[in-house]
């Protein structure tokens, strides 16, 4: 029996001598070598600008409109952090394991459990001789590892000077460890370093765990008799600054906030590439396609001090200033412009007194109602081991595997509204009002009554893709077989093409040409099959495959995929869109009302074809091989495991009347 995949290489050999080279059109912008393609850089810039414009429109509203939207925006942020619904607020099981005495203050070494087994280690700095409950500061640490003889003391020990300083100035201060660098060392680098792209499919981000720990830390502070519950402030720098933004946005018990070097805008992260300097804990899963000023604005009208330095490479000043300007409009709409401050200190990404003093003065003003001179300096006094909470780590801890346990279980049965849920939660990054793909013939040749055509179509701006077609030169056909190629398929093509069409393969280094044996025979068999089957044969390459691949190393490729997530997309989710547009391109060339397409694909690309079929009525059948058992194994679409999983989608496709051959999910 004739098998379509056998003859891919032979067909391309024939096409190679007939066609001009298909190239993605260059961007109307400066090149961006970090992403290996001018077109990809332009795509990221255009998508970022779209989200920026939506953010500006959302924040440029009256106070009444802002109040009307704020509750829903806060719910969306909770959702993007994996906190909707919020976990149960169980017993904190707070335990003090030791104390350190100083003439000015006492330090309690303590831990609590934000969830059963999720331990938060912290140091509580208590001023001596408090006549009444005092204002309290929740301080969240940045990414500073502190280890002695291989034992983690927690990053709280590196930031002890902040707790000491606040205590000496009359504040109760809880300095808490983060998951990644605490005494029990969890993980912040799932997609950044560990290849755990299934974090996207679960909608998991360690930023959500850190936000939850911060909320529970506020619960703990409220339980302390030394604390005035009406005067809670929050600050932290770098990663701790980021968590300050999210916790203060979500929890109005934070009466004043001063995040330091913890946020900038989407343009810095995606276009300027700052995402490459940040682990996953800095970002929510951008389901609703926000820009970061929307987080900052949720703190309004409470006192907010934005603090940064002028030469910070991972939180650049231009983005911080842009963000501040947008949030200032929200405060102005409230008539509370005086409650928003901006402090810019000199230097890079460093913890300096130039930044610390304004933060203390901010809390003095807004939590104490005073502004005395600051006469003491922040200094470290304790050996890190002295501040360690545990002598031995608890056996029941789940910190090291919280990424496995966070969130719900996959939905086994497809929901009645499956496509609408997928569209809003997994594929929100698809164009809302797409232009028709408008396929354009690049080159063609007629051989033995068959038309061999090389087409290109625009999936969306800056994404122009090739489409190869073999069909009878006369007479339209109702049925098209379209194979969707992954990179391995393409490289098999390119290995043959490398000898005959070097211009097309210049962007793919180190190709090894295959033998020419049986080439003409295979090509003849392909032509015979096309005539006998009376089917149009097509080959589709989604973005990032073959001629449109970005030429970068593995590390850069990871950062490209992370950029997609920041835009509320994934690379694989946008490839589903490309397949949809490819199907529409084939249909646009055919006037028949009974036009039908069979999609054929292998492995993760077969999953992309499966999902495309749910949205394109012209797809009547699927030939899918080597499907992964679950989305945990790929491909990654945002939040999809909270909606469905692959066995249920295959069943749903069959319920829709699609013929799914070889579609059994692999064990």
- pLDDT exceeds cutoff 70 at 466: yes
Structure tokens at 542: 């989604």
Separation CA 147–CA 660 (nearest Å): 55
Confidence of residue 442 (pLDDT cuts 50, 70, 90): confident
Residue 202: phi and psi, rounded to 5, are -85, -10
What pLDDT score was predicted for residue 552?
86
Spatial distance between the Cα atoms of 495 and 492, rounded to a whole number of angstroms? 5
d(CA 375, CA 5): 77
More confident residue, 234 or 519: 234
**pLDDT given at position 526:** 65
Report CA-CA distances (Å) from 496 to 11, 286, 504, 510, 518: 10, 41, 11, 13, 12
Rounded Cα distance, 405 and 279, in Å: 20
Predicted TM-score (pTM) of this structure: 0.91
pLDDT at 186 over 70: yes
Q: What is the pLDDT of residue 27?
A: 32
What is the enclosing helix (H) or strand (E) of 646? helix 646-655
Cα(572)–Cα(592) distance, integer angstroms: 31
Query: What single-letter DSSP state applies at residue 572?
Result: H
pLDDT of 91 over the 60 cut: yes
Whole-number pLDDT of residue 471: 85
Q: Which residues contact 121 (CB under 8 A, 6 or more apart)?
A: 110, 111, 154, 156, 176, 177, 182, 183, 184, 389, 390
The Cα–Cα gap between 619 and 75 comes to 37
Of 323, 444, 389, give the one whose Cα is nearest residue 52.
323
* Radius of gyration from C-alpha coordinates of the chain: 29
In angstroms, how far is CA 36 from the centroid of its own chain? 20
Model confidence band, residue 75 (pLDDT cutoffs 50, 70, 90): very high
Report strand pairing: 463-472 vs 450-460. antiparallel
Helix axes 646-655, 604-615, angle to 10 degrees: 40
What are the pLDDT digits (tens) for 479-511?
Answer: 899 999 999 888 765 554 444 333 333 333 333
Distances (CA, A) of 277 to 41, 47, 193, 291: 18, 21, 12, 18
Q: What is the mean pLDDT of the chain?
A: 87
List domains and CATH numbers for the chain: 4-50+413-661 (3.40.50), 83-405 (3.40.50.1820)
Say how many C-beta atoms besides its own lie within 10 A of residue 382's C-beta.
16
Q: Tokens in use for 178? A: 């983060």
Between residues 527 and 467, which one has the greater pLDDT? 467
Q: Is residue 187's pLDDT more than 90?
A: yes
Mutual orientation of helices 206-223 and 239-250 as an angle, nearest 10°?
70
In whole angstroms, what separates CA 25 from the centre of its chain? 27
pLDDT at residue number 521: 58
Contacts of 262 (CB under 8 A, 6+ apart): 236, 237, 238, 239, 240, 241, 242, 243, 244, 245, 282, 315
Which band of pLDDT confidence, cut at 50, 70 and 90, is reported for residue 433? confident
Instruction: Find the length of the chain.
Output: 667
């Amino acid at each position: 029996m004739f098998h379509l995949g056998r003859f891919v290489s032979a067909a391309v050999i024939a096409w190679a001598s007939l066609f001009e080279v298909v190239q993605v059109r260059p961007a109307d912008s400066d090149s961006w070598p970090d992403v290996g393609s001018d077109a990809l850089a332009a795509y990221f810039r255009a998508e970022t600008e779209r989200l920026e414009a939506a953010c500006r429109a959302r924040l440029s509203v009256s106070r009444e409109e802002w109040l009307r939207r704020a509750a829903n925006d806060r719910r969306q942020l909770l959702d993007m952090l994996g906190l909707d619904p919020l976990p149960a607020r169980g017993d904190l099981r707070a335990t003090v394991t030791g104390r350190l005495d100083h003439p000015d203050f006492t330090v309690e070494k303590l831990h609590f459990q934000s969830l059963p087994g999720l331990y938060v280690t912290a140091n509580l700095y208590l001023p001596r001789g408090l006549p009444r409950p005092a204002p309290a500061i929740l301080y969240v640490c940045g990414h500073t590892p502190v280890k002695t003889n291989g034992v983690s003391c927690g990053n709280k020990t590196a930031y002890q000077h902040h707790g000491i300083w606040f205590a000496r100035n009359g504040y109760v201060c809880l300095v808490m460890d983060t998951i990644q660098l605490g005494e029990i060392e969890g993980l912040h680098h799932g997609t950044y370093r560990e290849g755990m792209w299934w974090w996207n499919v679960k909608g998991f981000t360690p930023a959500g765990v850190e936000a939850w720990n911060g909320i529970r830390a506020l619960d703990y502070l409220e339980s302390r008799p030394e604390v005035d519950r009406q005067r809670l402030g929050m600050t932290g720098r770098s990663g701790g600054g980021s968590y300050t933004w999210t916790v203060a946005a979500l929890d109005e018990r934070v009466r004043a906030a001063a995040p330091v070097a913890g946020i900038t805008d989407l343009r810095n992260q995606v276009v300027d590439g700052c995402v490459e300097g940040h682990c996953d804990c800095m970002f929510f899963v951008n389901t609703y396609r926000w820009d970061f000023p929307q987080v900052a604005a949720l703190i309004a009208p409470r006192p907010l001090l934005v603090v940064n330095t002028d030469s910070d490479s991972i939180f650049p000043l231009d983005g911080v200033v842009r963000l501040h300007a947008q949030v200032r409009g929200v405060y102005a709409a409230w008539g509370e412009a005086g409650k928003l401050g901006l402090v810019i200190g000199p230097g890079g990404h460093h913890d300096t007194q130039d930044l610390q003093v304004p933060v203390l003065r901010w809390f003095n003003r807004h939590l104490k109602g005073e502004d005395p001179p600051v006469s003491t300096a922040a200094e470290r006094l304790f050996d890190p081991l002295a501040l360690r909470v545990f002598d031995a780590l608890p056996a029941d801890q789940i910190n090291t595997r919280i990424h496995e346990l966070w969130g719900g279980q996959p939905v086994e049965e497809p929901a009645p509204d499956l496509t609408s849920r997928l569209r809003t939660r997994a594929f929100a990054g698809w164009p809302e009002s797409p232009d028709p793909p408008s396929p354009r013939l690049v080159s063609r040749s007629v051989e033995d009554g068959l038309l061999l055509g090389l087409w290109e179509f625009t999936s969306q701006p800056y994404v122009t893709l090739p489409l190869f077609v073999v069909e009878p030169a006369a007479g339209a056909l109702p049925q098209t077989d379209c194979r969707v190629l992954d990179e391995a398929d393409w490289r098999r093509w390119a290995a043959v093409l490398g000898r005959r069409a070097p211009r097309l393969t210049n962007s793919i280094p180190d190709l090894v040409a295959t033998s020419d044996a049986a080439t003409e025979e295979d090509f003849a068999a392909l032509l015979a099959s096309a005539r006998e089957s009376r089917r149009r044969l097509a080959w589709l390459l989604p973005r990032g495959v073959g001629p449109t691949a970005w030429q970068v190393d593995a590390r850069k490729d990871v950062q490209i995929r992370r950029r997609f997530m920041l835009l509320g997309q994934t690379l694989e989710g946008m490839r589903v869109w490309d397949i949809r547009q490819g199907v529409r391109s084939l249909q646009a060339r055919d006037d028949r009302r009974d036009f039908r397409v069979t999609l054929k694909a292998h492995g993760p690309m077969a999953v992309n074809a499966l999902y495309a079929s749910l949205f394109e009525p012209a797809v009547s059948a699927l030939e899918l091989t080597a499907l992964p058992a679950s989305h945990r194994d790929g491909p990654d679409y945002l939040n999809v495991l909270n909606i469905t999983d692959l066995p249920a989608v295959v069943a749903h496709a069959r319920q829709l009347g699609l013929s799914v051959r070889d579609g059994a999910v692999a064990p």
